[in-house]
Amino acid sequence: MESHSGKKNENLHPLHKNKNTFMKSPTFQKILLEFEPRKENFLPAVKKVNRIFGYIGQENVYRLARYFSFSPAEAFSAISFYDDIRFEPKSNLEIKICLSTPCELRGASAVLREVESFLRARADADKSAKLEIVTRSCQGRCQRGPVIIVNGNIYDEVKPHLVDEILAPYFAK
């Protein structure tokens, strides 16, 4: 990188000085190098890593923190604020259930209990590589709640008696 005067900038981040050190994953490194190591670029970089890999990963949080001059605690705190940024890879079957107030008023808790009963798993507790049930805040479909999102497929106005019908096709092969 050159400074505006044309002289080499000696204050470069270590990653920019020697691109073969610091990061193990060349793809992750390549993504980071798209961003100047300024704090305002932290979230855009996190979102891009999450979009490309589907999750961040604990080791990469430490790398991001170091690159953007955050403490690991600051990085984890900022990332964990966003529901759609993941720390671990997605399960094969991911079920999101909206529990925001409008969905709750339309019976989201009963839908959640039916999902848990159907799958014999608890939301936000039982996670495996095959299945994950997560509760989420508003999914932006308040007039159409309760809302379930199964592997990205959105189901509106879900009633408890419809849960079997919605989930059964995901288990049929």
What's the CATH number where 108 sits? Answer: 3.40.30.10
Task: Name the residue with tokens 């920019």.
Answer: 16
Which pTM was predicted? 0.55
pLDDT 10s digit of each residue in the chain, 173 long? Answer: 333 333 344 444 444 444 444 444 558 888 888 999 999 999 999 999 888 888 888 888 999 999 999 999 999 998 888 877 877 777 778 888 988 898 899 999 999 999 999 888 778 776 665 777 888 887 778 888 899 988 889 999 999 999 999 998 888 75
Q: Are 68 and 132 within one domain?
A: no
Kind of pairing between the strands at 153-155 and 93-98: unpaired
Question: Considering the domain boundaries, does residue 117 fall inside one?
Answer: yes
CA distance 158 to 114: 11
Domain count for the chain: 2
Residue 153 falls within a domain, yes or no?
yes
Regarding whether 165 and 98 lie in a shared domain, the answer is yes
Asked if residue 108 belongs to a domain, the reply is yes
Q: What domain range is 131 assigned to?
A: 93-170
Three-state DSSP class for residue 100: coil
Query: Which of 41, 57, 80 is the last residue in one of the domains?
Result: 80
Same-domain check for residues 114 and 60: no
Spatial contact of 98 and 141, defined as CB atoms under 8 Å apart: yes
